[in-house]
Amino acid sequence: MCGIAGIAGIHDIRQALTTALERLEYRGYDSAGMAIHSAGGIDVRKSVGSVATLAATLPPEPVPGSGIAHTRWATHGAPSTRNAHPHLSYDASIAIVHNGTIRNIAELRGELDDLGVSAVSDTDSEVLAHLVAWHRGQGADTETALRLALARVDGDYAVLVIAADRPGTLVAAADGSPLLIGVDGRAVHIASDRAALASECTHYSHVLDGEVVTITTAVPAGRDWKPASRESGWQGKGSYPNFLLKEINDQPRTTRAAISALFSPIAPGSPADWSATLDRPSIKRVRFLGCGSSYYAGEVSASFVEQLARVPAAAEPAAEFIQRRPVVEPDCLYVLISQSGETLDTLHAHRYLRRHPVQTLSFVNVVGSSLDRDSGASIHLRADKEVSVASTKVVTNMQIAGLALAAWLARADYGARSAELLELDLALPILPTILADLLAGKDAEIRAAAESVHAYRSMYYLGRGASWPVAREGAQKIKEISYIHAEAYQSSELKHGPLALVDPEHVSVVVAANDDSGNQDATLVSQIQARAGNVVVFSQHQTCEFGATTIRLPAIHPLLDHIVMGVALQLFAYHTATILDRDVDRPRNLAKSVTVE
C-alpha cells in the first residue's frame, strides 16, 4: 500500500523523485524518503510525515543522476525515520524500496541473525536489503542476488534496488504488486502507479509477476509497450481547496461519461465490448466481491440486478469470500470490484475463482491494472483519476456499472421487462443534471446540517432495502474522513436491539429513499425522538413529514434515487470533516490502494 518510484538518468533527480512521490502520496503518507547515487556511494534522505516535509530537507541545487523513492503506509513498525524507506543494507552497498508484506519475516530475520546481520528497523522490508547484499558478497551480481533474496520471500511484492557500485542502474522486481516502466525519450521512469510516471512519458510497460528488470537510461528492449494516454497523467485539484471536494463535484461529468458508454449500443465500453465473452443463458445468479466502499457499491448493484433483471444477486467482502472456503457455483457470474484494480484481497479472490470453470467480470477504474489485465471481461468506470483516499466519483460510477449489468441481464427477458427498461433509459440522461443541481442547490443546507451534528462523537445511519447499503457507505465516509464513530443498521432492525444505543449523545441519520416506506420512516424517527435521540433525515419523499431536520432531495427513478442519495451523503461527510478541520484527502491510518493483506 506504499508508493514507490525510481528514475534512471535525469538532470535533477531529487526534484523528479519529489514530484513522483507527491503523486503517489495518496498510497501512504506516514513517512517518505529517497536514495540516489552519489560520489560517496548512496545518499539516503528520510522524514516522518508528508512528502513536503522530506522536500524541505533537500538541498536546493539540481543533482543529476538516478535514484529510488518511497512514501509509506505502515504495516510493520510505527512511522519513524528508522522505519522509513529506503533501507540500506548492513554494508551500505544496497538500498531498496518495497511495497508488499513478507509473511515469513521471523524466519528470515532468524537466518540473518545467524549470519551476524542484525535489523535496525521494525520493518519486514529491511531484510531484503540485507539478503541482496549478502548474496552479492557471495559473488552474485545484483540481478541474481535479488532473485535469490526474493526466492526466500513468502508474500506479494514490488521492489526497486540500487547498488553503490552501479551508478545509473536500478533493478526492479514484482509479484502480485504493480510496477510500471515509462519512457520519455530522455530518461526511464518506474513507479507503482501510472500517475507517478512523468507527464512526458509517451509509453509504459508492466513489470510482469516474477520478472526482474534492469533499468538504465537506455529503453529496455523486448517489452510490450503501450501508449501513455493523457487520461493516465496527473490531474490537479484546480481551484478547489482539496481533491475530495473536486472529485465530489466531478460527478455530473463522470456519471455522464459512464452513462454515455455503458448504455450505448455502439460506443467503446458498451455492453457489446464487455459482454462479448459472457454467456448470458448460463447466468442464474450474480455475486459481487469487493472491499470497503467497493463492497457497498456491490451491495447496491446486487439490489439493481434483483429489482431490474429478477436474477438472484448478493455481495460480500472479497477477503471474507476466500476465508470461508466458498462453494463456487458454476452458474453464477462473479463480479470483482476495485477502483485501482490492485486491491490485493480482491485480486486473491479473482485468482481463486480462476481455478474454477466460472464466468467473471470486473469493474475497474484503472485501465491496464492487474485486475483489468487478468479478467476475461471488464467494465471500465470512466471516472478519471481519483486522488482523495475516500472514494466518491468512482463509487458512484461503480453503481452505474452495476445498473448497466442489471440492464444487460434484463434485456434477455426484454418482453417482460421492456417497460422498466424504457423507463430507465428515459431517466438516465437526467441523472448528471440532477447531481449538478444537488451539488449547487443543496450545499448550504447540507453544510448547515453538518454544523448541527459535528460535535457528536457517534452516529447511526439507518436505511431500508437498497437504502441499507447506501447508509453503510454514508457511515463509511463519516468514519473515514471525520473520525466520528458511525454504524449503519437496517431500519427494520433498530427495535430489535440497536435501539438500546439511542440517547442524547448520538445522532441518527435516516436515509429515506422515495419508495413505499415513507410512513415507516416517519415512525422510525418518532421512535428515536421518543428516547431523546437526535435525528437528521435525508429524504426523497416530497410530502412526508418527519418532524426532524430534513434534507429534501430530488427523486427521478426508483433505482437512480439511491445514487443521488449517495452523493448527498458524501457532501454531508465532507462538510462534517472540514468543520472539524480534518485532512479530508489524507485521513489518518488509511491509504487509497490497499495492496497488502
Residue with cell 500517475: 195
Based on the number of CB atoms within 10 Å of its own CB, is 12 exposed (0-12), middle (13-18) or buried (19 or more)?
Answer: middle
Tell me whether residue 541 is in a domain. yes
Tell me whether residue 593 is in a domain. no
- Which letter does DSSP use for residue 92 in this model? S
Tell me whether residue 149 is in a domain. yes
56 contacts: CB under 8 Å, gap ≥ 6: none
Q: Which of 2, 201, 291, 332 is catalytic?
A: 2
579 contacts: CB under 8 Å, gap ≥ 6: 447, 450, 451, 454
CB 418 within 8 A of CB 281: no
Task: Using the Cα atoms of residue 387, residue 76, residue 165 and residue 149 in order, give the sign of their dihedral.
Answer: negative
62: Cα separation from own chain's centroid: 34
Q: Which of 46, 477, 479, 592 is catalytic?
A: 592
Cell matching residue 525? 424517527
Q: Which amino acid is at 559?
A: L
What is the pLDDT at residue 516?
Answer: 66
Last residue of a domain, one of 438, 458, 475: 438
Q: How far is the C-alpha of 350 from the C-alpha of 322, rounded, in Å?
A: 10
Nearest residue to 22 (alpha-carbon basis) of 167, 236, 230, 214: 236
- Within this chain, do residues 347 and 294 fall inside the same structural domain, yes or no? yes
Last residue of a domain, one of 201, 232, 263: 232
Nearest residue to 290 (alpha-carbon basis) of 208, 362, 234, 230: 362
Tell me whether residue 595 is in a domain. no
Q: Is the peptide bond before 86 cis (omega within 30 degrees of 0)?
A: yes
- Within this chain, do residues 78 and 199 fall inside the same structural domain, yes or no? yes
Q: Which amino acid is at 395?
A: V
Nearest residue to 568 (alpha-carbon basis) of 441, 428, 455, 480: 441
- Within this chain, do residues 448 and 410 fall inside the same structural domain, yes or no? no
223 half-sphere exposure, CB direction, 13 A CA radius: 22
- Within this chain, do residues 502 and 411 fall inside the same structural domain, yes or no? no
CB 341 within 8 A of CB 370: yes
What is the pLDDT at residue 597?
Answer: 60
Residue 487's domain comprises 442-587
The series of mean pLDDT values per 10 residues for the chain, 597 residues long, is: 86 90 80 89 90 85 89 80 92 93 91 89 91 95 96 92 94 92 91 83 91 91 82 70 96 97 84 90 97 96 96 96 90 96 90 94 92 91 92 97 96 80 93 97 97 93 92 96 95 88 91 76 87 92 86 93 96 98 89 63
- Within this chain, do residues 76 and 95 fall inside the same structural domain, yes or no? yes
What is the pLDDT at residue 574?
Answer: 98
What are the Cα distances from residue 234, in Å, to 278, 392, 460, 474, 583? 34, 18, 37, 28, 21
Is-catalytic flag, 544?
no
* CATH number of the domain residue 254 falls in: 3.40.50.10490
- Within this chain, do residues 120 and 171 fall inside the same structural domain, yes or no? yes
62 half-sphere exposure, CB direction, 13 A CA radius: 7
Phi first, then psi: give them for residue 66, nearest 5 degrees.
-135, 155
What are the Cα distances from residue 124, in Å, to 71, 121, 130, 188, 442? 16, 8, 11, 28, 48
- Within this chain, do residues 219 and 261 fall inside the same structural domain, yes or no? no
- What one-character-per-residue DSSP string does 472-508 give? HHHHHHHHHHH--EEEEEEGGGGGGTGGGG-STT-EE
Domain count, the chain: 3
Tell me whether residue 112 is in a domain. yes
* CATH number of the domain residue 46 falls in: 3.60.20.10
108 half-sphere exposure, CB direction, 13 A CA radius: 25
Is-catalytic flag, 201?
no
What is the pLDDT at residue 306?
Answer: 96
What is the pLDDT at residue 519?
Answer: 74
- Within this chain, do residues 419 and 505 fall inside the same structural domain, yes or no? no
Q: How many CB atoms are located within 10 Å of the residue 482 CB?
A: 24
- Within this chain, do residues 412 and 458 fall inside the same structural domain, yes or no? no
- What one-character-per-residue DSSP string does 198-212 give? -TT--EEEEPPTTEE
Q: Which amino acid is at 414?
A: Y
Tell me whether residue 596 is in a domain. no
Tell me whether residue 252 is in a domain. yes
237 contacts: CB under 8 Å, gap ≥ 6: 243, 246, 387
Q: How far is the C-alpha of 583 from the C-alpha of 574, rounded, in Å?
A: 10
- Within this chain, do residues 410 and 469 fall inside the same structural domain, yes or no? no
- Which letter does DSSP use for residue 94 in this model? E
- Within this chain, do residues 56 and 108 fall inside the same structural domain, yes or no? yes
Based on the number of CB atoms within 10 Å of its own CB, is 222 exposed (0-12), middle (13-18) or buried (19 or more)?
Answer: exposed
Last residue of a domain, one of 391, 412, 438: 438
- Within this chain, do residues 72 and 217 fall inside the same structural domain, yes or no? yes
